[in-house]
Amino acid sequence: MRLITDVGDITPLVADLLQPALLERDIEIQKAEIIFESPCSDSPPEKGTPLEDEPYLIILDKTCGEVGETFTIEGGNFWPSSRGQIWWTNIAGEMKRRIRQEGEYLTFETDEEGRIPPLTIVAPEPFGEARGKGPQRSRVQAVLKREVGSLHLSETFFLVVEKMMETIFLALMATTLAIFLAIPVSFLAARNLMGGSLITMGVYYLTRAVLNILRSIEPLIMAIVFVVWVGLGPFAGVLALAVHSIAALGKLYSEAVESIDPGPIEAITATGANRLQTIVYAVIPQIIPPYIAFTVYRWDINVRMSTVIGFVGGGGIGFLLQQWIRLLMYEEAGAAVWAIAIVVAIMDYASAKAREKVV
């Protein structure tokens, strides 16, 4: 029932995802500030004075007090009929947060002449490093923003393109690394090549068991292990995808070997060729087309997997998407989602065409 009744809860989220932040206008900022002290010292700050040509803030009552006490501000010379935000920063200006009252962020709206009407503020606590160290001065800021100029590509667009390219090459590096290890492993996992003695059959069963175990472990779990091992970043993602790809490609390659025509193998063997010569002259010429097809397809899969692996710190677009979702920046997240969808669709089409040409 909640699936129907609570559909309105996701409407803003879906709307933001469908409006990715790919285009933007320049932002013009108007700001004024006043000093408030908590608790009071022997020389509290001044209340401020109105200015003629610049935005200003003044305190109407007291400029100092205990945490939780109220004080009133007003201002002028702002953009008329505009909505703004109230911020609380330390005196150096390097730490700041928006002021919340009764669970809501404190905002204001200027009148037609650009004045901020009297606004009552509850004095917040000083920032962590200043608590309990006597009187501390903080800045109360009134901030207005508005868009100016024409639309242009946003910083989000370039960041998404950069991380999407990182994701593609992350998947390419993982696939390339997997190829070099999966090819020799595939010969050890091919029954038609390893038959003939107990030792080679033992190697066959052992190789198959290892491949099955590795394939049964989700790449996401592997990514968590490698993030702990080598740290956050694309390298952990490459290793996680490479290990899983070795197992997946090893199985696919070995099945391609097992399905080849046995005639050339018998002919080469009849000439007295050893096992290595048999592989080089009778097996490899038959397996090149399916190997290429499986490799391209695996790269396609790894591009999709790398977006998920990024959620646990494996780098690429997934890591960026996870941060935006956590920060409730759904328009930016929408840009990443659309980029993933477009790239995956292109990769799927390209891999299908490549497989058509070689199979």
Q: Which pLDDT belongs to residue 250? A: 92
Q: The tokens 């394939």 sit on which residue? A: 215
For residue 311, pLDDT beyond 90: no
Which pLDDT band, with edges at 50, 70 and 90, does 233 fall under?
confident
Q: What is the pLDDT of residue 83?
A: 94
Residue 93 has pLDDT above 80, yes or no: no
- Residue pLDDT, tens place only, 28-62: 999 999 999 988 998 999 999 999 889 999 999 99
Is the pLDDT at 86 greater than 90, yes or no?
yes
176 CB burial (10 A radius; 0-12, 13-18, 19+) = middle
Range list of H helices, the chain: 2-5, 11-17, 155-188, 191-194, 198-216, 219-230, 234-258, 262-270, 275-278, 284-309, 317-326, 330-358
Domain 155-358, CATH homologous superfamily name and number: MetI-like (1.10.3720.10)
pLDDT for 80 = 94
Q: What is the pLDDT of residue 70?
A: 92
> If pLDDT is split at 50, 70 and 90, which confidence band does 7 have?
low
Instruction: Return the domain boundaries, the chain.
Output: 27-152, 155-358
Tokens of 152: 């242009």
Of 113-122, 149-158, 263-272, 334-343, minimum mean pLDDT range: 263-272
In tens, the pLDDT along 248-259 reads 999 999 988 888
**What is the pLDDT averaged over residues 99-106?**
86
Per-residue pLDDT tens over the stretch 129-161: 656 677 888 999 999 999 888 989 989 999 999
Residue 267 contacts by C-beta under 8 Å, 6 or more apart in sequence? 282
Q: Which residue has the tokens 């990514």?
A: 223
> In the predicted model, what is the mean pLDDT of the chain?
87
The more confidently predicted of residues 358 and 287 is 287
Of 70-79, 259-268, 347-356, the poorest mean pLDDT is in: 347-356
